[in-house]
Structure 1
């Protein structure tokens, strides 16, 4: 079977073969990472007796814990990726995630889940290293389309994951979902081991560069810093509702019906549109410049988050979440395409690891802010907070992208 698959790839260039393989890898990683995410607060509730505020706190802390660890270790993994190769990092990430997620199905206390989530953060990074590998092998003229296409793999997995998770949880309970996820990540490991090809030539001197020297190497420090901040704030806005999402759906449904399935649909809704729209917006950005796609996505997300705060039923929430998929399709691939064009090959791993750190910091801060706002002011106000952060992101966009037209559209 493996030989047959390899033969099918024989007529394509390396970057084209890698795109196919890494798309499936990020797709499976997206499924593995999102199977349990919408129901994590409900799972925590089975591990002890908690008040509403305690449950919101534990949900926020456990959901965010792996991101803070990932933010710290990502630059270290990025340095190693530039010195040893990105494929090694793909294997490291998928193997580590397989083991830690599998073990989550055996926890009996909230603190054990917290510890494993932190350990998960230390091993994560499959998607970011996939992006870095593709950035170093893809022709610059194709970077927008390729990055957008690769993004659809992760988004597609995250789209199906919560829905599959909702069905599985309803049939067999929470714990088997972690075991299934662990098996999926093990499959990702073997997929990367046998099919990903990297013609890597280590540049030892570059591998020892510090952060200051890395930013000196890029085409524009201002643009790169702006993109990293854009990533962080976007994650804050997107992740703020996640730790209490299932509780919010439960509230909107008045504690009746298949709450876990509807929570999965709500969680997955943005991915439906992103999956369809991202490649088209990426290709459009290659022609007119990513700056315009990025700016439009930010403005649209601000308007949708404001509209989302008026949700009174789960179907309205699903509709507005679908619209968020449009802004995600514009923002995230645009940032990755810009970084791919700004970073020389010798430091690409580091630049994308910094973007992973920014993403992780946002994903750490967002759930804490969201769960705090929800506990103090109610669920709807979480979206107003998200809209305020998007305004901050628009200010960042205006001040850090002045030179982006000539850099991207050239």
Structure 2
């Protein structure tokens, strides 16, 4: 029987994920400037900035399955506490570092000790009533999107008025609040401890043997890739549309945030729709809409039309992540779900690391407009594969759900 605290967990963990997401994105506007003015990096500043950003994603992707196995053995709440307090300390350290090599090392450990967000999603996904899972995961999807939107804005304001180092102190305070919320504001009554901690290699084999889960992991990475591949190109594309250079940063920020704003507005609604018609159908609709939305951007040459299409694309993209998370709950056994969501994090973190690099390379080889076509085509192919494998995914989903219901009874 589900405990009576699932709504309280949902509210508290939404706040925790929001603050964690904000804390990471706070440094986005000023990280290169911080390396230059505070660390004395003058040569190869772009390279240093890329390494400082990317190493966190890479470390997080590699270590996530390990933390997932510990979550399934000891519980998701201990992983929330472990990650929250560790990250708070590391953000605090960033405020006092003066050497670029040490700074990159701290960023490495931030990736290695991460895991708050997947643990929070796993706790909500496994601790909510079955008929509320889609709604709850849709709500959780808005937390990360909102934090990613608000974080850079707050980071720019704090660094401008109080200094870059104080912005890291602000991030430390945000994550500390998340850790305290996880410690005193969440419960995990329904957790079933496994006897032994599994090995990462065995977890990957089990995930690959679960074909619906394996397919969902690919889709998680692919959907994240479709958003992040445009990160280094949006500003350049906005300039090509005739926006004056002095307004390019603000204009590109608005356009890039349009996807996140749309996700905040629509993700809970998609969660409710998925609960009624099935999450595989919602995922299919989201992939088709996202693919068409990308391709249509090829034909737009003015800023306002481009921004409107980005927002429209975001309305459909908002369905993808909640549907993938809800289906992950459906196609995995309760004792494997912590590892499943950690593998999901690995897929998305690898995409977040690789996509801007590949986007930059493609942007140097071809007109940016054509990248929208490639991106849209990739999503439509994913939709076609989901449609072709739909029966298999549905069958596995229903079997897993039926097994969980009988075991709960």
Superposition TM-score, scaled by structure 2 size: 0.84
Q: Note the C-alpha offset of 1:211.
A: 5.2
Match of 1:16 in 2: 7
1:244-255 pair list within 5 angstroms: 253-255=243-245
Stretches of structure 1 lacking an aligned partner (at least 5 in a row): 1-11
> Higher RCO, 1 or 2 (CA under 8 Å, sep at least 6)?
1
Deviation track 1:128-161 (CA, whole Å, cap 9, x = no partner) reads: 1011111221122221111111112222222222
Give 1:199 shift: 2.2
Q: Which residue of 2 aligns with 1:6?
A: none
Q: 1:208: which partner in 2?
A: 198
CA distance in 2, matches of 1:305, 1:321: 8
Confirm or deny: 8 A CA contact 2:294 2:375 kept in the other structure: yes
Residue of 191, 196, 208 corresponding to 2:186: 196
Pick aligned residue for 2:158 from 141, 165, 168: 168
Alignment of 1:381-396 (within 5 A): 382-396=371-385
Q: Deviations over 1:180-211 (max 9, x none)?
A: 21221111111111111122655343533665
Cα 1:169–1:113 change in 2 (3 A) is same
Task: Select the residue among 15, 20, 29 that pairs with 1:29.
Answer: 20
2 CA distance for matches of 1:103 and 1:392?
45
For 1:346-365, what aligned pairs fall within 5 Å after superposition? 346-365=335-354
Give the equivalent residue in structure 2 for 1:292. Answer: 281
Aligned pairs (5 A) from 1:256-335: 256-257=246-247, 261-309=250-298, 314-335=303-324
**TM-fit CA distance, 1:96:** 2.4
Following superposition, the deviation at residue 369 of structure 1 comes to: 0.8
What stretches of structure 2 of length at least 5 have no aligned partner? 402-409
Q: Does the 8 Å contact 2:65/2:203 carry over to 1?
A: no
- The answer to which of 88-97 and 277-286 deviates more is 88-97
RMSD: 3.2
Compare 364-373 and 174-183 and name the one that shifted more. Answer: 174-183
In 2: Cα distance, 1:202 partner to 1:354 partner: 20
Post-superposition shift, 1:72? 0.9
- Once the two structures are superposed, residues 204-234 of structure 1 have per-residue CA deviations (whole angstroms, 9 ceiling, x without a partner) of 435336655786599x812111100000111
- What does residue 404 of structure 1 align with? 393
Q: Distance in 1 between matches of 2:154 and 2:78?
A: 30
Give, in whole Å, the separation in 2 of the partners of 1:62 and 1:247. Answer: 22
Query: 2: distance between equivalents of 1:317 and 1:113?
Result: 37
CA distance in 2, matches of 1:112, 1:308: 42
1:84 to 63, 70, 74: 74
Aligned residues: 394
String of CA shifts for 1:259-298, please: whole Å, max 9, x gaps.
5554543342212111111111111111111111111111
Distance in 2 (alpha carbons) for counterparts of 1:396 and 1:159: 31
